[in-house]
Amino acid sequence: MRRLLLAVLVLAVALAGCSGVPTTGPVERVSAAPGRLNPGVEIAPAPPGRNATAITVVEGFLHAMASYQPDYSVARAYLTPEASRTWSPEAGVRIYAEGNPVVATETNATLRAPVVGTLDSQGAYRQSTETIEHDFGLVRDDDDQWRISNPPAGLLISEYLFSSAFTRVTPYFYAPGGSWLVPDPRFYPRGPGAYEGTARAVVWGATEWLAPAVEPALPGIRLASAVVTSTGVARVELTRGASDLDPAQRIALATQLVWSYRSFESVVAVSVGWAGDEPWAVEPYGQVIPVTGFPEADPAPRQGSRQLFGLEQGQVVRVMEGPGSGQNLRVAPGVTAATHAAVRQDALVAVAVSADRSGLELAPLGEAVLRPLGTSAGLRRPQFSREGAVWVNNDAGELAVVSPQGEWALGTATDLGEGLIQAFRLSPDGTRVALVVQRPGGQQVLGLARVTDADTLPVVDGWRELNVATGSLAQLTVLDVGWRAADSLLVLVSDGRTTSVLAVAQDGSTVVPIGPSAATDLVELAVAPGVPPMVRSAEGAVWRYNSDFRWSSHATGLTTIFYP
């Protein structure tokens, strides 16, 4: 078979290292954002009271900003007429850290606080390292009452009020080709506006960051209304453009809406149609579609293997639970001395890195056959994409991609900078990649980038670094990463003494330690949607996640572990 040269995609990434594992321990949660199940606390905003002090006026304004009202009329009552006229609460949201009260004198009030995150006008969250110092410009009005003449741009909300007043929802958009969906999380104020915001997001399209990696919204469609009935049916009415939608387009739009409304526990079904007409009858569900509908559009493959695989003495094995190495099942007889490997999602083919880490070889499971794919010095852990392509990085910080047909494609990397890729994981839908990058000074950080195709050549861009430090773990080295779900990660970190796993939202809005406690030498994760996460120690012990800070021994003697 013709030897293929390994073409590499150089990713020089943006500027901007257990013997016994305890299975219990405390749970520390660090979060700038609410989870799906957070019921929230009702915040009833009140207008300024008569003869309110300067600090009372500012604190009342901060609380009123955290409670959505049409046009934020209560919040505007704290402003001077001119400030009310020019203030634009829809410009975005800045979320500031707790423990930073307003500092006030008799005549002015200032808030100085770290900003932990922001929301743009589409509701997309992004971590922040900004520190805000805002003077509210208190003045006396004609009635001798304190009013604010200098409101912040957009909304300014504390972490606590944000977690109570906003809800996280996940609109979905099609990956290129339109076969499966991609999540695009947003945050909206709690209440009926969140239902409408979800439908509007689907109709308008993906956020600015994700848009280059997904299919665009259907042209000419606008949202007329979106309400949820007392029986839990989200009724979405649209206005059409110059032409109607064909049946395939209606099904695609309905699929996006159904998946997007899964964010709400109160919604059990969705109907969609043109304003003033009967809802569309969408095959195979009819006019009312359950939120469990269209399972085939899942961002994570539903037909893939759920088995844990690994390398044992250089051989690809299916990992069987229990101590000792004799129970594991050898599945790729052709692989005898691999250093790294991966198994395709259908569990029919493996790819292995040779003993000297210079060759990449394809190995059908159950057959003593190897097919050379190419060479490159210092190859590391490979991964199959959902389409069957193989991605692999090397010691030089390069990333290579080979098609299912065996052709290596030279791609491009844009808007990136200095650093070396140490580890990577493609998202289940293939539109994003999580990267562990070593900076020139040796620090290893986590970031997310888009994966797009330009003229069939892979492009990795849009790098966004994610800060995973928590209050008690300020200095962390990121060791490994994996996708727990289509919109969330597990991250293996070291604080210099111990190693542990964090659950991290893809936008960094939540960072939650999940254990194990006091482990000192964890080095690798095996993570995939719908299966128990695994973590491996340097000595080859494998631990299985059962619940937060509860991990159990699963296997020993493995040099790497991976799910298909």
Residue with token string 């490159």:
376
**To which H or E segment does residue 139 belong?**
strand 138-140
Domain boundaries, the chain: 54-164, 170-297
Cis geometry, peptide bond prior to residue 301 (ω within 30 degrees of 0) = no
The crossing angle, in degrees rounded to 10, of helices 192-204 and 247-260 is: 140
For 101, other C-beta atoms within 10 Å of its C-beta total 12
For 351, the 3-state DSSP assignment is strand
By DSSP bridging, strand 398-402 and strand 408-409 are antiparallel
Residue with token string 């257990």:
18
For 4, the 3-state DSSP assignment is coil
Reported in sequence order, the residue ranges of 328-367 that DSSP labels E, i.e. its strands, are: 329-330, 340-343, 349-353, 359-364
For 374, other C-beta atoms within 10 Å of its C-beta total 21
Q: What is the DSSP letter of 230?
A: T
Fold of 54-164: Nuclear Transport Factor 2; Chain: A, (3.10.450)
Q: For residues 244 and 255, what is the distance between their CA atoms, to the nearest angstrom? A: 17
In degrees and rounded to multiples of 5, residue 392 shows phi and psi of -155, 140
Q: For residues 117 and 270, what is the distance between their CA atoms, to the nearest angstrom? A: 32
- Closest by CA to 254, choosing from 276, 233, 280, 228, is 280
- Closest by CA to 147, choosing from 53, 237, 241, is 53
**How far separated are the first and last CA of the chain, in Å rounded?**
26
**To which H or E segment does residue 201 belong?**
helix 192-204
Residues 6+ apart with CB under 8 A from 455: none
What is the residue-level pLDDT of the chain in tens, covering all 564 positions? 333 333 444 433 333 333 333 333 433 334 444 434 344 445 578 999 999 999 999 999 999 999 988 899 999 999 999 999 999 999 999 999 999 999 988 888 999 999 999 999 999 999 999 999 999 999 999 999 999 999 999 999 999 999 999 999 999 999 999 999 999 999 999 989 999 999 999 999 999 999 999 999 999 999 999 999 999 999 999 998 868 899 999 999 999 999 999 999 999 999 999 999 999 999 999 999 999 999 999 999 987 788 999 999 999 999 997 655 568 999 999 999 999 999 999 999 999 999 999 999 999 999 999 999 988 899 999 999 998 999 999 998 888 898 777 777 766 667 767 889 999 999 999 999 999 999 999 999 999 999 987 546 778 999 999 999 876 556 899 999 999 999 999 999 999 999 999 999 999 999 999 999 888 999 999 999 999 999 999 999 999 999 999 999 999 999 999 999
Q: Which sign does the torsion angle of CA 284, 285, 287, 290 carry?
A: negative
HSE toward the beta carbon, residue 31, CA cutoff 13 A: 21
SS (H, E, C) 151-189: CCCCEEEEHHHHHHHEEEECCEEECCCCCCEEECCEEEE
Q: What is the DSSP letter of 90?
A: G
Q: For residues 158 and 115, what is the distance between their CA atoms, to the nearest angstrom? A: 9
Residue with token string 């979905």:
172
